[in-house]
Chains A and B, each alone.
Chain A
Amino acid sequence: MNQETDDCWVEQSDRSMDRREFVRAAALVGAGITAAAAGVVMHRRRPPPADPTGPATRRAVQALPAPPTGTAEDPLLRMQRDLAHALAKPVEQRHWIMIIDHRKCVGCHACTIGCVAENKLPPGVVYRPVVTEEAGEYPRVRMKFTPRPCMQCDKPPCVPVCPVRATWKRPDGVVTIDYDRCIGCRYCLTACPYGARTSDFGEHYMAGAAEGAPRGTDRPVEGSETPAYAERPAPEYGKGWVRKGHASPIGNARKCHFCLHRLNEGLLPMCVTTCIGRATYFGDANNPDSLVSELKATHDTHTLLPHKGTEPQVFYIG
C-alpha cells in the first residue's frame, strides 16, 4: 500500500468499492434523484401565487350612460363603459385582452410616450415600443406600424423560468411581477420571444447632465435644476416606487401590465387613451357584448409569433 507524507488515512483494499459501499451509493443516488424529481413535480403542479379573488375584488365604478340608439360613439367611451361593467365582476371573471388595428395605427408613438410618462419609465426601459416596417419601393411604399406591448400570454414562457416565483399570471390574465421579490437574474428577459421585458439598470434621465456644469445649487441633479418628473414615484401595481439608490424597481425586470393601477381606478390603460388613431382597443373578453369581443368576432385577428405556442392575448387586425 502506498504511503504518503501528509495523509493519515490510506486505503487498504485494492477493490474500488465493496458491496456495502455500492448499496449505500445506490441508496444515496436513488434518494437524491427521487428528491429532485419530487421537487420538480410538486412545483409543476403547484398553482401560481394566490391573488385575491371573489366578491371582494369587485369595484364599483360609475359607468357612462349609453348613447342614444343610432348615434356614433367614440370607442374610448364604449371601452370606458365596458371597463366599468368588467370591474363590477370578481377579478377571476374578467379576462383582459387588447386588440390593435394595424390599419389605423399611424406610427405616432403617442402610446409609447404615454406609457413612459404614466409608469415613470427610466431610460432604457420601454413597455410599448412601436416597430416600423417598410415595404415596397418608392413611389409605392407602405409603412406598417406594430405596437408591441406585453402579450399577456396565456402560456407565458417568462413565468416558469423565474427561479423565485416573482412573476405569475393573475386571474384576470395579466402577467405581473412582484418587484420586492424579483432578484434581477434576467432569465425572464431571455425567455420572452417578444422582447417584452426590459431590465431597469438604474439609468437616470439626468445622468451626464452635470458634466461641465458649475458646482453649487444650480448644478443639475444636485441642485434646483433637477426636474420634478425625474423624482416622481412610479405608480405601478398600486404602490409608489421611488427611484433611490439600488432599491426596486432598479435592478428588476419590468414589463407592461395593462396599467393595472389605472384599471383598479376605472381608467383605461394609458396607451389606449393616448392613441390618436383609436387603433388600440382594450376590454374584457369574457363579456360577449364588449367592444373587444365584438371586434374579435367580426375581424380576422392574428397574434405575433403564433408558432411559439404562447397564446398571446394581444391581437392584431390587418
Chain B
Amino acid sequence: MHMFTSPPLRIPDAGRRWVHMALVIVFGASAVIGVWGVYERVAHGHLPAGYGSYVPWGLWIALYFHGVGIAGGAFLLGGLGYVLRWPGFRRRAALRTVIVLSVAAFAASFLGIWFDLGHMDRASFIFTRPAFTSMMSFNAWIYGAFMACAGIAYALSWIDDRGWLKPFLCVAALFSVMFPSQSGAFFGVVDAKSYWHSPLLPVLFLTSAVVAGSATLLLVKWLFPDGEIEMDGALRRLRSILLGSLIVYFGLELAEFSLGLWNPYTHAPALELILWGPYWWVFWIVHLVVGGGIPFALLLTRRVPAWLTAAGLIVVAFVSGRLNVLIPGQAVGEISGLQDAFHHDRLKYIYHATPAEYAVGFFMLAAGMAVFFVGREVTRLIARRLSASTPVLQSSPRAATPAMK
C-alpha cells in the first residue's frame, strides 16, 4: 500500500531566524511609513488620496479585498483541516494559530476600508442601521457573524467543548466561503460597470482567497512551527492545494477574459486597460509572472525553500489580481465624454495611488503583523498558564474524564 510513500521533506530550519529578523525589519519600516500615512489621512481627510468620483475606490479597497481573501482562505483550510483531521491541522494549537491569522488579516483589511470611508465616525451605522439590499451591508454582517463564530471556536478550543467546537468551526468555515465569494458579488451586482457585472467574479474571488490563504498558511506553518510534529504533512497538503487552486484561478481568469476577447462590446475597454494600458506591467509581470508563472514552477519542485518562496511571491503579488478587477472596472465610463465635461482631477477616469495611500497600505500591513504577533503571544501565554496549572485533558466527544498529562 505504501510503495510510493514520499521520502520525508528536508525542512530548512536554519533560515527561519533570518526570515524572522527580516519580518521584524519589514514591520518596523511599515509602521514608521504607515504612521505618516495615517497622519496624512486623519489630518487632511481624503485630500492626499488619488481617487476621485469616477474612480472612487483605490489601493486601500484592493488591499482590503486581498486581506479578507487571506482571512477567508486561511480559515477555510485551517478550520476544515481541523474538522477533517488533516496532518498538521488536527491539533488545537494549529487551529488557534489559524484563527489568530484570520483575525489579524481581518483587522488589517478593516483598517483599509475604515480609512476609505468619508465618515469614519459613522462606520457603526452599517451594524445599527443596515440595509441588507446592499451587498456591502450583507458582507459586513457576515464578517461579524464569522468573527463571532471564530471567537467562540477559539474560546471552545481551550476547554472541554462537549461536542460544540467542530459545529462552530463548520459554521465559521461556511462564512469563510461566503465572504470571499461575496467580495466578488460586491462588484458583480454593479450593473453600471460592464467588467464587474459577471457571475464568474464571486467564484474567481473565492478561488483567489484559497490561493492567497493557502500561501499564507504555508508560510505561517513554517515560520511558526510551535513544536509542530506533522509539518511535513501540512506543507505537502498546502503545496498541493496551492498548486490546484492556482491552476483553477488562472483557468477562471482566462474564462473571464475570453468573454471580452471574443465579444469586444462587453468587457473590452476594461480588458484593454488591463492588458495594454499604462499599468500593463501589473498584469503581465506582477500578476502573471511573479504571482503565477514563477510560483507555479517553484511549487513543482520538491524543495521546501522553493515552496516557501512561491508562497511569499503569491501573498504579495496577488494584490495585483484585486487591483486589476477594481481599477479597470471603474476606469471605463458609460457616458463618453463625461470626464471632459467638467474639469477637475477628481473627475477623471484615471487613478494613480499616491504616496499617502501606499503609506496607509504599509500601516495596514504593520497592523496585521502586530495583531498576529500579539494574538499568537497571548495564545502561547494562555497555553503555558493552562498547561502549568491544569493537566492535559482528553476531549473525546463525550469524554468527561480528564486525564493527567
* A residues neighboring B (CB under 8 Å): 1-18, 20-21, 24-25, 27-29, 32, 36, 39-40, 42-44, 112, 123-126, 129-133, 148, 157, 160-165, 181-187, 189-195, 197-203, 207, 246, 248, 250-253, 304-305, 308-309
- CB-based contact A163/B164 at 8 Å: no
* B residues neighboring A (CB under 8 Å): 45-47, 49, 52-54, 56-57, 83-85, 90-93, 116-119, 122-123, 125-126, 129-138, 140-142, 145, 157-160, 163-164, 166-168, 170-171, 174-175, 189-193, 226-227, 229-230, 330, 333-338, 340-342, 344-347, 380, 383-384, 386-387, 390-397, 399, 405
- CB-based contact B394/A21 at 8 Å: no
A8 to B389, CA, bound (A): 10
B40 to chain A, nearest CB (A): 13
- CB-based contact B405/A3 at 8 Å: yes
- Contacts A8-B390, A246-B45; A163 near B140 (Cβ below 8 A): yes
- CB-based contact B395/A163 at 8 Å: no
- CB-based contact B190/A24 at 8 Å: no
How many CB-defined contacts (below 8 Å) exist between A and B?
273
- Contacts A29-B174, A40-B138; A13 near B397 (Cβ below 8 A): yes
- CB-based contact B391/A8 at 8 Å: yes
- Report the 6 A-B pairs with minimum CB-CB distance, sorted nearest first: A184-B118, A251-B118, A12-B396, A129-B341, A163-B137, A193-B192
Contact of A164 among B93, B126, B168 (CB under 8 A): B126
Contact of B56 among A8, A189, A193, A248 (CB under 8 A): A189
A233 to chain B, nearest CB (A): 18
Residues of chain B lying within 8 A (CB to CB) of residue A191: 190-192
Closest to A204 in B: B47
Contact of B346 among A17, A43, A197, A201 (CB under 8 A): A201
Residues of chain A lying within 8 A (CB to CB) of residue B190: 157, 161, 190-191
Residues of chain B lying within 8 A (CB to CB) of residue A207: 47
- CB-based contact B334/A195 at 8 Å: yes
Residues of chain A lying within 8 A (CB to CB) of residue B170: 25, 28-29
Contact of A199 among B53, B145, B380 (CB under 8 A): B53
Closest to B346 in A: A124
- CB-based contact A6/B93 at 8 Å: yes
Contact of B91 among A4, A20, A182, A197 (CB under 8 A): A4
- Contacts A9-B159, A131-B337, A199-B53; A160 near B134 (Cβ below 8 A): yes
- CB-based contact B167/A190 at 8 Å: no
Residues of chain B lying within 8 A (CB to CB) of residue A189: 53, 56
- CB-based contact A193/B119 at 8 Å: no
Listed by A's residue number, 24 A-B pairs whose Cβ atoms lie within 8 Å are A3-B392, A6-B227, A28-B167, A28-B170, A36-B141, A124-B53, A126-B347, A130-B341, A131-B338, A131-B341, A157-B190, A161-B136, A183-B118, A184-B118, A184-B119, A185-B136, A193-B335, A195-B53, A195-B334, A199-B56, A199-B346, A200-B118, A203-B47, A309-B191
- CB-based contact B119/A252 at 8 Å: yes
- CB-based contact B160/A183 at 8 Å: no
B308 to chain A, nearest CB (A): 23
Closest to A27 in B: B167
- CB-based contact B393/A32 at 8 Å: no
A139 to B405, CA, bound (A): 95
Residues of chain A lying within 8 A (CB to CB) of residue B47: 201-203, 207
Closest to B52 in A: A124
- CB-based contact B136/A32 at 8 Å: no
Residues of chain A lying within 8 A (CB to CB) of residue B118: 182-186, 199-200, 250-253
Residues of chain B lying within 8 A (CB to CB) of residue A133: 336-337
Closest to A30 in B: B171
Residues of chain A lying within 8 A (CB to CB) of residue B130: 39, 43, 163-164
- CB-based contact A7/B131 at 8 Å: no
Residues of chain A lying within 8 A (CB to CB) of residue B134: 160-163, 187
A25 to chain B, nearest CB (A): 4
Residues of chain B lying within 8 A (CB to CB) of residue A157: 190-192
A165 to B345, CA, bound (A): 29
- CB-based contact A148/B392 at 8 Å: no
A183 to B342, CA, bound (A): 26
A199 to B116, CA, bound (A): 12
- CB-based contact A195/B54 at 8 Å: yes
- CB-based contact A193/B45 at 8 Å: no
Residues of chain A lying within 8 A (CB to CB) of residue B129: 164-165, 181
A42 to B383, CA, bound (A): 44
A21 to B85, CA, bound (A): 14
A14 to B86, CA, bound (A): 11
Residues of chain A lying within 8 A (CB to CB) of residue B344: 123-124, 126, 203
- CB-based contact A25/B132 at 8 Å: no
B331 to chain A, nearest CB (A): 11
- Contacts A3-B392, A4-B91, A4-B93; A185 near B342 (Cβ below 8 A): no
A314 to chain B, nearest CB (A): 13
A250 to B116, CA, bound (A): 13
A84 to B171, CA, bound (A): 59
Closest to B387 in A: A8
Residues of chain A lying within 8 A (CB to CB) of residue B140: 163
- Contacts A4-B229, A246-B45; A16 near B392 (Cβ below 8 A): no
B299 to chain A, nearest CB (A): 27
A130 to B122, CA, bound (A): 34
A184 to B115, CA, bound (A): 11
Residues of chain A lying within 8 A (CB to CB) of residue B131: 43, 160, 162-165
- CB-based contact A12/B394 at 8 Å: yes
Q: A39-B138, A199-B56 are in contact. List 9 more A-B contacts (CB 8 A).
A: A9-B393, A24-B167, A32-B174, A36-B138, A123-B344, A161-B134, A183-B125, A193-B334, A199-B46
- CB-based contact B397/A20 at 8 Å: yes
Residues of chain A lying within 8 A (CB to CB) of residue B164: 24
- CB-based contact A16/B397 at 8 Å: no
A195 to B9, CA, bound (A): 56
A192 to B123, CA, bound (A): 22
Residues of chain A lying within 8 A (CB to CB) of residue B166: 16-17, 21, 25
- Contacts A44-B133, A181-B125; A21 near B341 (Cβ below 8 A): no
Residues of chain A lying within 8 A (CB to CB) of residue B387: 5-8
